[in-house]
Amino acid sequence: MEENKENKVDKTGKISRRQLLGGALAAAVLPVASSFTGLVQEEVPPVAPADPTKVQGIPPGKIGTRSPFENPARKASDISSRSPLQDFYSTITPSDLHFERHHAGIPNIDPEKYELLIHGMVDRPMKFSLADLKRFPAFTRTCFIECAGNFRRGKAEMTPQEILGLTSQSEWTGVMLSTLLREVGVHPKAKWFLAEGGDAALLTRSIPIEKAWDDAIIAYGQNGEAIRPAQGYPARLLLPGWEGNTNVKWLRRIEISDQPYFTREETSKYTYPVNGKIRMFSFEMDARSIITYPSYPQQVQRGWIEIRGIAWSGRGKVTKVEVSTDAGKTWNDANLQEPVLSKAHTYFRHLWQWNGAETEILSRVTDETGYIQPTLKQLVDARGADIGGYHMNPITSWIIKRNGQVLFKPEKYK
């Protein structure tokens, strides 16, 4: 065996005296040496900057914080909180500003005890721990979630957050539900599955099995870290483009069946007529857009204004956003921020020169299926009455007063 020259050991098994001295010497010089490399920076006392125009810094920390000058906040009620859409420069919603909708509060679930049961019309009913879910090949995708009841109006003094803040976007990571369905062996006659959460809410949803084979994800990651408790920690069902309520949080059970379950949300009380027929199981979120700048309560000045906003569709990609600055008489194509992702918030911008006259600005999206965002009149005519409620995605307008004040146009029709 080759002798290690650095570690000379004498016959008694003790390290030589020379070796010890050398080691002590090396230890003594180490802090000095590393202070040059910056490794022991925290030992250097803070020095006030000699140049008074420079600003004294604070040391780095374990968790980052926002600038004290930036205070974006959700607007919360007992059952939901809304994202501050007007405060975002682009389309990823910071996780702590993601909208929330809860029917029985946010349960605190121990990831060690978490289990997802998949049973019903399967060859092998199985329970998956969180660790099991993470062993499967993972998948990451950016998409929006929107509550089907996302639309408020009624007065001019409303922000984008108040009007439409029940939508947000994250980059989600998890395992494709199709991967798990192959694992349990789904019966060929299966047509639906039931998704159940571990919270106290009576919210279970029946989902056509095609969505599971297509793009459903059991998500445990949100914007690069573990999903937030409010978003369903440790795992939720993610159905890109579909009504918020089908994205069952704290997912604990999936039951495969050949028919829907007609749970509470799936009875006629929670559905509405379209052309005289009850519209049930309307899963996809229709395309919509909103200008987030300028918006209430901002004040603008005459001259160049970059009109900005977000557009999205639950059916695929946004292909066009048009902006009108003359109350809908003429329309201009806005620029779409690339990359445009399917079933995702898409940022649009349109440069406009305001001449100072009172006007109305609005946006209208077209998606890849050719669907064009309707006016409120078109929506109401199709449904027979302005009943509000779910799936209300009309074009929305802002009025710009001569003094530059921006107000929401709270339309009501019939």
Q: Show the CA angle centred on residue 145, arms to residues 85 and 236, nearest 5°.
A: 130
Residue 250 touching ligand MTE (CB under 6 A): yes
- Which among ligand MTE, Mo ion, none contacts residue 334 (Cβ within 5 to 8 A by kind)? none
Q: Return the amino acid letter for 382.
A: A
Least distance CB 372 / ligand MTE (angstroms): 25
Q: Looking only at residues 98 through 127 of this chain, which bind ligand MTE when binding is defined by CB under 6 A?
A: 98-103
- Which among Mo ion, ligand MTE, none contacts residue 221 (Cβ within 5 to 8 A by kind)? none
- Which among Mo ion, ligand MTE, none contacts residue 128 (Cβ within 5 to 8 A by kind)? none
The tally of CA atoms less than 13 A away on the side-chain side of residue 78 is: 2
Binding residue for ligand MTE, selected from 82, 152, 211, 249, defined by CB under 6 A: 249
Per-residue burial over 71-85, b = 16 or more CB atoms within 10 Å of its CB, e = otherwise: eeebeeeeebbbbbb
Give the count of beta carbons closer than 10 Å to the beta carbon of residue 404.
15
- Which among ligand MTE, Mo ion, none contacts residue 248 (Cβ within 5 to 8 A by kind)? ligand MTE
The tokens describing 220, both together, are 């445990």
CB distance 107 to 200 below 8 Å:
yes
| Comparison of 248 and 334: residue with beta carbon closer to ligand MTE | 248
Binding residue for Mo ion, selected from 85, 109, 145, 147, defined by CB under 5 A: 147
The number of residues that bind ligand MTE (CB under 6 A) is: 20
- Which among ligand MTE, Mo ion, none contacts residue 98 (Cβ within 5 to 8 A by kind)? ligand MTE
CB distance 254 to 118 below 8 Å:
yes
The pattern of x and - marking residues 197 through 236 that bind ligand MTE according to CB under 6 A reads x-x-x-x--------------------------xx-----
| Comparison of 245 and 295: residue with beta carbon closer to ligand MTE | 245
The position carrying tokens 């006016």 is 375
Least distance CB 160 / ligand MTE (angstroms): 17
Contacts of residue 247, defined as CB under 8 A and 6 or more positions apart, other chains included, come to 145, 232, 236, 237, 238, 239
- The CA-atom distances, in angstroms, between 232 and each of 95, 147, 262, 382 are 12, 15, 23, 36
- Which among ligand MTE, Mo ion, none contacts residue 317 (Cβ within 5 to 8 A by kind)? none
- Which span sits near ligand MTE by CB under 6 A: 13-21, 87-95, 134-142, 193-201? 193-201
Give the count of beta carbons closer than 10 Å to the beta carbon of residue 119.
14
Contacts of residue 4, defined as CB under 8 A and 6 or more positions apart, other chains included, come to none
Nearest residue to Mo ion on Cβ basis:
147
Bridge partners, 92 (sequence order): none
CB distance 103 to 202 below 8 Å:
yes
The pattern of x and - marking residues 95 through 124 that bind Mo ion according to CB under 5 A reads ------x-----------------------
Binding residue for ligand MTE, selected from 186, 248, 290, 307, defined by CB under 6 A: 248
Residue 244 touching Mo ion (CB under 5 A): yes
| Comparison of 247 and 319: residue with beta carbon closer to ligand MTE | 247
- Which among ligand MTE, Mo ion, none contacts residue 249 (Cβ within 5 to 8 A by kind)? ligand MTE
List the one residue out of 163, 233, 179, 242 whose CA is nearest residue 208: 242
Note the residues at the interface with ligand MTE (CB under 6 A). Answer: 98-103, 145, 147, 197, 199, 201, 203, 230-231, 244-245, 247-250
